[in-house]
Amino acid sequence: MEFVKIGLVGLIAQLVERSVHIRKVSGSSPDEPTNNYMLQTRLPLSISVFFPCYNDSESIKKMVADALLVVRKFTNDYEVIVVDDGSKDNSRKILLELAKKHRKLKLIFHEKNKGYGGALRSGFKTATKDLVFYTDGDGQYDVGELSVLLGLMTDDVDFVNGIKMSRHDPTYRIFIGNLYSFINRWLFWLPIYDVDCDFRLIRQKILKKIDLKVNSGAVCVELVKKAQRAGAHFRQVSVHHYERRYGKSQFFRLDNLFYTFNELLVLWIKLVVFRF
């Protein structure tokens, strides 16, 4: 029996050694533009990074800086995109100043707010590279952890989705968010655990096969379900989630919640009941 145990341990060790090596480096604070993990090799693929932005003037500058710092470590073929969804603060002014300094920064401005789904659709439409990564512009995720997702994007994977390790939000938002993810996971038979985690890396070839229609936050459910139907192979990984320091979430407004759940109902009828 002891021989069997040793044999199993040895086999596991060999499998681990043959896997993609990811080295942990210092720096885990969201205030520091540093990677928490770094892949040991540069990628042959190109990368698009984009952020939906709505009144995120206090955080978007750092998000862009962090994104530029990270992607340069892996490829020379990249672009960073910010979709300003009709911000009423000085986000546009800040973004225009950043664009003067960084030629690979692309800016999309919505004259009127189109909702989270509208912002994501604009981002996906603008992205031109092999891999497309997006996260919110409010600074609640560490862009440095994109390196973790890149390490997991092996040839047999098309979609890498984050899972919040610990949600740093008010208690009521944690409750609603967990309930939202749980209900959607079972109603739509989603292949991922945390559909509410907007920290995603997706192959462009999958995005070209799907057509997003939803305008609200329900777009995340639509994205994952349609990617699943398009034949995407999924992988998940835990990522850090930080307290929101600036601005207010638009998702948890009462009118937005009603609108989102209404779109979810319509989406469920189309995708699950009638399988459009």
179/37: higher pLDDT: 179
State the total domains in the chain. Answer: 1
CA distance 184 to 192: 10
The mean pLDDT of the chain is 83
pTM for this structure?
Answer: 0.81
At 71, which CATH number?
3.90.550.10
In a domain, 53, yes or no: yes
In a domain, 257, yes or no: yes
Please give the structure tokens belonging to residue 275.
Answer: 């399988």
> Whats the size of the chain, residue-wise?
276
Residue 42 pLDDT > 50: yes
Q: Which ranges of 44-105 does DSSP label H, i.e. alpha helix?
A: 60-71, 91-101
In a domain, 234, yes or no: yes
In a domain, 139, yes or no: yes
Please say whether the beta carbons of 49 and 82 come within 8 A.
no
- The per-residue pLDDT for 169 is 65
In a domain, 8, yes or no: no
Residue 265 pLDDT > 50: yes
In a domain, 39, yes or no: no
Q: How far is CA 177 from the centre of its chain?
A: 16
Nearest C-alpha neighbor of 130 from the set 153, 151, 161: 153
Residue range(s) defining the domain that contains residue 217: 45-273
Angle at 102 between CA 42 and CA 109, to 5 degrees: 110
Over range 62-72, report the average pLDDT: 96
- The per-residue pLDDT for 177 is 74
In a domain, 17, yes or no: no
Residue 51 pLDDT > 90: yes
